[in-house]
Structure 1
Amino acid sequence: MPDRIVAGSPVVVFFYGGSWKRGEKGKYGFVGHSLSSKGYITVIPDYRLYPEVTFPAFVEDGAEVLTWVRENVDQARNGVVVMGHSAGAHIAALLALDQSYLEEAGQSSGIIRGMIGLAGPYGFNPMKYRSTQPIFANVEVIEKAMPVTFACSAKIPLLLFHGSDDSIVIPENSRELKRRVYECAGNVKYFELDDIGHFSIVLGLSDSFLAKNAIQSSIEIFLQSLSRQSGRTASTEFIAKTHISGGEEFKAYVVLNVDQRFGGEELVAWSKEQIAAYKYPRILEIRDRLPMTATGKILKKELKAEIAY
């Protein structure tokens, strides 16, 4: 538990990796320490593994965990961020993108506020590899075991990391998920880290890891943005029209939902920070307190969807 909890923050639920065959929560205390030291309640559950179970049992276990968290952790009234590494990122992504798991567990999919994935196998076909065939042997439609299948269902922000040197789960998995979510006008950010492999990326959550800032700072910004949104009044939004690239003008809108309890200057400063996180070259326009009806019309016309972050 954090000494001081970030106001309005969601609970982070981290699923460890291990090829769906191995792993235990006791080995990932450094993940909990990293996040709780920044003020975020973190839950690291165990889940059943092969050969005790096969897919989708471990994803169903994840849904049961989220139900337990919602019913037993007061801070979960602000929602949950699902997070995972490798096989755990696969579980987190399916929970975030395929609503059926939470629905079958009797829980609303709205409990999930965001997803953070490290080196997840989002697009691989497990039936093409001898090591994973028995784990997924009972799947009738293999696409249902692939998170990329549900990319267009993304209603929450996704934050993805992958190491460029990962030869176990190749970076194309994260690239493909990012590409599909983006094409469906979803909210996704992807960081591909140079000279980082499959196991070293999760060590980016350890205070002793040299490249920790590249991962930890992005995660903290992501969680801070969701914390700010909690309890917001929907009538306050900020819209930024963006940028000219390659001689063509592209219009996009970043809709920043915030709580009106914060002062005007603080809101503007925070909004600029969030817009800058999208790496757009410059801010052409910021309008505050734009009515939601007008916002909806603009987004429907220009982007066909709302990006809330």
Structure 2
Amino acid sequence: MRWEGNRESDNVEDRRDDGGGGGMPVFGGRSIGIGTIVIALLGGWALGINPLTILSLLSGGAPPAQVQSQGPAHRPPADDTMARFVSTVLADTEDVWQGVFRQGGGAYREPRLVLFRGATPTACGTGQAAMGPFYCPADQKVYIDLGFYETLKNRLGAPGDFAQAYVIAHEVGHHVQNQLGISAKVEQMRGRVSQAEYNALSVRLELQADCFAGVWAHHAQNARQILEQGDVEEAMNAAAKIGDDALQRAGGGAVVPESFTHGSSAQRQRWFHNGLQNGSVKACDTFASRSL
């Protein structure tokens, strides 16, 4: 991926020296992100529990926790290559979504990206590194412990810088959904429908975020030619590794589609590719699609 020398975002908070947020994790609102599967997968391996069982517990409707006060936000050091990388990817998503919203007659509110180690307080509860990257709609921030990328590469088998960029773009996709009011509509259905029906809505939400990641890549490529040979394959591989069916198989259990919360490997690949090919928000309407 060609990213060196491109603009870095000013919307990055570096909390890695804050010592962690402490306490037990509390999941409220909708802070489930692309990396929440990591704690499920690793927990399943360690405890012999189906990862989807752990995912079900993680996505429960606990109320948001009180956010601890933070000191002044500071930028990552200039010599931190990985921090520069995620700052550059975030800046690229800002440029793309500002343009997309402007063409639609709207204004894009940029999210902030928080770098942390171990744990950190959020408006959705205490975020922990084992959750992987996630988006909290209550404070409109994307959270990531950069150690996740080692897990992505070594434990999940999805190496590559564009796979890493896909992760950020997926979480920014949740921010786009939040700004468009899509996330709130799904959250309103919690408790009003059965768990299986809510899981199905969650799948459509996650697949749409995958598609929005593809929309970003489409426009970034057209504007700045960021893609190198093998980049798309890296993202498609990452999407496959974190499909619900792949995780269930990795956990040694049977594949149970009604328990899916993020979508199958094939579905995640299909919707990312759909966004990449079309570059259109309308083409990402997973909720209107009869076939995922």
TM-score, normalised with respect to structure 1: 0.23
Structure (1 or 2) with the larger CA radius of gyration: 1
| Greater fraction of residues in strand | 1
TM-score, normalised with respect to structure 2: 0.23
| Greater fraction of residues in helix | 2
